[in-house]
Amino acid sequence: MAWRGEIDLGTKPTAPGAAMVTITIDGQPVSVPEGTSVMRAAAQMGTSIPKLCATDSLEAFGSCRLCLVEVEGRAGYPASCTTPVSPNMVVRTQTEKLKKLRRGVMELYISDHPLDCLTCAANGDCELQDQAGAVGLRDVRYGDAGASHLGQAKDTSNPYFDFDPSKCIVCSRCVRACDEVQGTFALTIEGMGFGSKVAASQGEDFFSSECVSCGACVQACPTATLIEKKVVEIGTPDRSVITTCAYCGVGCTFRAEMRGEELVRMVPWKEGKANRGHSCVKGRFAWGYANHQERILNPMIRASIDDPWREVSWDEAIAHTAAEFRRIRNHYGKRAIGGITSSRCTNEETFLVQKLVRAGFGNNNVDTCARVCHSPTGYGLKTAFGTSAGTQDFDSVMAADVVVIIGANPTDGHPVFASRLKRRLRQGAQLIVIDPRRTDIVRSPHVEAAEHLALRPGTNVAVLTAMAHVIVTEGLVNEAFVRERCDWSEFEDWAEFVADPRHSPEATELMTQVPAANLRAAARLYATGGNGAIYYGLGVTEHSQGSTTVLAIANLAMVTGNLGRDGVGVNPLRGQNNVQGACDMGSFPHELSGYRHVSDDAARDMFRDLWGVELDHEPGLRIPNMLDAAVDGTFKALYIQGEDILQSDPDTRHVSAGLAAMECVVVHDLFLNETANYAHVFLPGSTFLEKNGTFTNAERRIQLVRKVMQPKNGYEDWEITQLLARALDCDMHYGHASEIMDEIAAVTPTFAGVSFARLDELGSIQWPCNEAAPEGTPVMHIGGFARGRGKFVRTEYVATEERTGPRFPLLLTTGRILSQYNVGAQTRRTENSRWHEEDRLEIHPHDAEQRGILDGDWVQVVSRAGDTSLRALITDRVAPGVVYTTFHHPSTQANVITTDNSDWATNCPEYKVTAVQVGRSNGPSDWQERYEARSRLSRRIETVAAE
């Protein structure tokens, strides 16, 4: 028998809490919640009713007429998918009349379907094939002389799946999935009667249409009409492994479906609590980088960054690295070495890197890319609430009445969450978007923001404080909540501050460029519209006042009482898959795991007792401080796991100068990334498909990453760090990633109840998980804050030092696009690049006309820090005076022009506000061409046999 995936119960479950109803199906009693369909009730008792248009991921439709049943006392033959149960209902699913009707329906389907099962890629994995057998169809009476759809051309335009209309049975499942699950409305049923057919957008091919390649339509299709190219190439899978996606902070759970050691497809798991059976183009399809020809599988070393790479054995690479680190430590002192962890790596890998630095190097010189994007979240939320994380689970958005999105672009950056959000908005929730750019969520099919506050980049604090001004001065404060849950004297001080007329929408309008009337309307809506939820992203944190903005968001939530229940809260949308986990694991130079300061004697004692070494009580160096010290000659060696600081960190020239000044740079990654241009040792990493561990997503959800295949490089990443630690006489002896999690739980109070066995049992856990919350905590701060009383903090607006003027009149801000991920190291090595082959500079038509720029022209972007060149995209998505670009392609070198300005509290770089001038150019800048030549030189490899 062919391998099958998940069981499909035909229709969705009813809402929790419904009364139980007992009915009889084929003589057997069954009790199910009121509102359950007859089809689902039958499936739950083990009786499978034939179906084609029904699936439990979509609303019941009742079009295929295959699921007909007989109901005692009711005329006709109702569809079981659209018939709800009622008390004492008596149903028959198998009678001679039903058999005849079903065979007749199936006969009509088969008469217009290719009879190519033996050569069809979906053979053994096709619902039409299964149901033909289930109804006992053995021959078709109708000949092939009549009209049919068998001659329709196949659409192979999408890089990941094919559309073969000749196999389509027009069940509408793909159309319904695009509408109900994804919310893009890119597919439709075109024509009527026999002429009905599935069409993408206005009769376009799939690649050119509005389809976002999320895969929902492919997953919903019951035939081979929509089918993955990999299934056609490899064959149907024969086993699966449940694992977690390694892209954004949503943390989707997938069934990695395998044939032998070969991955066939990634199918979103229905039981995944973060994604609920949905996915995006990255997680669903963009995993081919694991087998890309540019992936490095053997360790390499070189004496100088001007030398070619030399392949060596693992033993030689580890021994050489340890010897270099030991030499540098002995000559320059223990503070001359540091490490960088990655938000792409597992909790266990990240924990070991910071342990290597603290217990092996003997200092706290450890930092992470999470600080470069979301450290203001940790500072701001810990100050206000007492915990450094978001307050809700993703399901909570379905109870929200008003949603505020500030500095985030969920349709591109967190598309699976965005689909759920759009579903809630279509149900009637109101939306406020605070963003200098008109993102897709502002206006998309059946969704439109009530207010779009297109603020001037860098004025987040002024806008949020003005909203607070409206709430306080118009008497919209939830006084009962504030008195019960917050420090009243601090509230009074804050309220006096925000009530000052200088914070009014009218007084700040010229500065923020947000019309006062719109800002007042947004503030009133959030304060009075019911459950109010705030979601924010890097457009909040990557500013010189990032921490102040997070505090301002917390103030708004507290003053309106929007905390401590479903449908409300303050929710950071983490950019990468394990940003939350990287922070939790102690990746900051001043904090141990669980956000305890390194000066905390009790916390250090706990680690000392377990690790057998004394820990330094002085905070270490952050990444920019490491680079400064390297240029000064006091910092000499760096171990970088899974992070490309040369492309992702600001002020690229300063980063390259710091790396060039070091004597031993070790890059531990999948590819020779931009940072590897300055590396002396390259340790090949393993992909998420090749390792065990956990990721923690944006909702604090800890989920297992399970090994799908053996590591092509020979080791899981945590094993490589352990090899290096042992070579440095740092005691690490783990046999499995689960043992590292056991240690994390032993020293991290919020993880105290977490183990791989518990995760296997529950599926996932949201921290804190301890004796008080043995199954985790979906919603934080119910009944009280972790710090006791909520803390209001004054949020004085301080303009960024990055000012526009005659030389640099425009403001550049940056962001991401749906098809690409972060610095593009993974997605650029997949077919996703067909949607986004290069970074483009978005510029308003007015600004373009002033400069004589046409769409597609090469333009030079110059800032106080540097210059780069890329092609222009003329659009009114950005306001006059604002330009925007992505940073997915290293050839763009977008961070050459970002400055070293940073958040006052956390040193988080100010990526989102850079004063620039834009003018026409003849192509890439001289700097880019020199850099590209340098990169090609650095990628030379002298292949020798590894011992």
CA distance 139 to 106: 10
pLDDT of residue 896: 79
Q: 475 CB contacts (<8 Å, ≥6 apart)?
A: none
CA distance 216 to 213: 8
List, for residues 639-663, the tens digit of each pLDDT value: 999 999 888 877 888 899 999 999 9
882 pLDDT tier (thresholds 50, 70, 90): very high
Could you tell me the sign of the dihedral formed by the alpha carbons of 378, 532, 399, 405, in that order?
negative
List, for residues 596-639, the tens digit of each pLDDT value: 999 999 999 999 999 999 999 999 999 999 999 999 999 999 99
CA distance 931 to 935: 6
pTM, entire model: 0.94
pLDDT of residue 9: 93
List, for residues 491-509, the tens digit of each pLDDT value: 999 999 999 999 999 999 9
Strand partners, 198: 189
List, for residues 186-217, the tens digit of each pLDDT value: 999 998 888 899 999 888 999 999 999 999 99
- 768 prior amide bond cis, ω within 30: yes
Closest to 581 in 3D by CA, of 707, 412, 416, 748: 748
List, for residues 555-602, the tens digit of each pLDDT value: 999 999 999 999 999 999 988 889 999 999 999 999 999 999 999 999
pLDDT of residue 193: 87
* Strands (DSSP E) found in 78-159: 90-92
List, for residues 132-164, the tens digit of each pLDDT value: 899 888 888 887 777 888 888 999 999 999 999
544 pLDDT tier (thresholds 50, 70, 90): confident
pLDDT of residue 945: 40
* Residue 578 CA neighbour count, 13 Å, CB half: 31
Closest to 161 in 3D by CA, of 245, 219, 203: 219
The answer to whether 799 touches 871, Cβ cutoff 8 Å, is no
For residue 393, the 8-state DSSP code is -
Closest to 362 in 3D by CA, of 582, 632, 608: 608
Strand pairing report for 701-705 and 765-766: antiparallel
pLDDT of residue 866: 87
Mean pLDDT across 681-697: 97
**Comparing 4-8, 244-248, 844-848, 907-911, which segment has the lowest mean pLDDT?**
4-8
For residue 357, the 8-state DSSP code is I
Mean pLDDT across 817-826: 89
pLDDT of residue 66: 94
Mean pLDDT across 403-416: 95
pLDDT of residue 62: 92
Mean pLDDT across 323-331: 97
Q: Looking only at Cα atoms, what is the longest distance across the chain? A: 92
Mean pLDDT across 700-728: 97
1 pLDDT tier (thresholds 50, 70, 90): very low
pLDDT at 820 exceeding the cut of 80:
yes
pLDDT of residue 378: 86
pLDDT of residue 203: 83
Closest to 133 in 3D by CA, of 123, 142, 141, 143: 123
The answer to whether 527 touches 471, Cβ cutoff 8 Å, is yes
* Strands (DSSP E) found in 573-673: 591-592, 596-597, 637-641, 664-669
Phi, psi of 609 (to 5 degrees): -65, -35
pLDDT of residue 935: 67
CA distance 641 to 341: 5
Task: Classify 20 as helix, strand or coil.
Answer: strand
Tell the residue number behind the tokens 């998309």, with chain if given.
444
CA distance 405 to 500: 26
The answer to whether 313 touches 947, Cβ cutoff 8 Å, is yes
944 pLDDT tier (thresholds 50, 70, 90): very low
Q: What mean pLDDT is reported for the chain?
A: 93
Percentage of residues of the chain with pLDDT beyond 90: 82
b/e 557-580 (16+ beta carbons within 10 angstroms → b): bbbbbbbbbbbbbbbbbbbbbbbb
pLDDT of residue 2: 40
5 pLDDT tier (thresholds 50, 70, 90): low
The answer to whether 812 touches 828, Cβ cutoff 8 Å, is no
pLDDT at 946 exceeding the cut of 50:
no
> DSSP string covering 462-473, please?
HHHHHHHHHHHH
